[in-house]
Amino acid sequence: MPPIPQRVRCLLAAFALLLSTTITADAATAGSFSHDGRLRTYSLHIPPGQGRQPVALVVALHGGGGNGELNAEQTGFNALADREGFIVVHPDGTGRRRPLLNALGKGRLYTWNAGNCCGYAAQQDIDDVGFLRSLVRVLSDRYPIDPARIYATGLSNGGMMSYRLACDASDLFAAIGVVAGTQTASHCQPAQAVSVLHIHGSADRNVLPGGGNGDKALDKAPKPPVREAIDFWTRANGTDRSPRREVRSNIEREIFDGGRDDSSVEFLLIKGAGHAWPGGRRLFDFLDEPSQELSATETVWAFFKAYPKRRDRVQEAR
């Protein structure tokens, strides 16, 4: 048999790399596959002792200028996944090539195409909805993921992307948890109800609660008010129009119950809090200090547990 040419060996090695994801039970593992002509990457965490019982999947989306590994560090979702027994994946968005920064290991500055935001991903009209659908499908083929308990959450641009998933992939995601983001999708026509939790700081100067252009925003396009997103989803889900209101310390909470397919919408406003993941880690000194009024990670997960997709809706979505 003649030897395999070097070029063919390289192509085979690259193809194998795209398909490979070696999993250890107690550590995050890098994975990748090709989507829409691009190599897309992610960091996956499997809880220890994972068997064949169906488990929830949380898709945790980094903020603009971040990446999946930093998101895991910032939110602490991996440790919670170990305690609660769910799978969490931290995907990477896309960004421009930065040869010098890449050589220094600092070039992974990514954004998500959340509609009218943000950065490279929106400018290039990257198919992030398609990528995240494919990611869920890849993971569901490999692990016993419960199709009724697939969720998305994210900070800032990642929260905006979570809203876009609720708009464009409502058949797949049962609920979303948005932190310091807003809804920037140009068109939103969800086919199914999606439960929504939104957490925001009243002093956020990146994504202003009242909308507009924050003086600390990296993306300078004006953003819609947060209240527009809350109003949209109460209408889309058919919830009660008058919320139950709770006040605890510096947190004002509005709960809109009674949505179709057992859905709900909740809005938590933290007085004095800035643009950060509450209870999370502050990664860099120039970022806002996270509020300690609550743990966004624990709060988002508690909401997710309360709002799986109805089983008859899961069957319809397949």
Which tens digit of pLDDT belongs to each residue from 29-66? 999 999 999 999 999 999 998 778 999 999 999 999 99
Please answer whether residues 149 and 57 qualify as being in contact, where contact means their C-beta atoms are separated by less than 8 angstroms. yes
Structure tokens at 181: 């983001």
Q: What's the one-letter identity of residue 152?
A: A
6-317 has which CATH code?
3.40.50.1820
Which tens digit of pLDDT belongs to each residue from 94-121? 998 765 555 545 558 999 999 999 999 9
Residue 231 clears pLDDT 50, i.e. is over it: yes
Task: Please report which confidence band the pLDDT of residue 317 belongs to, taking 50, 70 and 90 as the band edges.
Answer: low
Rounded mean pLDDT of 213-241? Answer: 94
Tell me the whole-structure pTM to 2 decimals: 0.89
| Residues 142-145: contacts with CB under 8 Å, at least 24 apart | 142/21, 143/46, 143/50, 143/55, 143/87, 144/51, 144/52, 144/53, 144/54, 144/55, 145/54, 145/55, 145/56, 145/57, 145/87
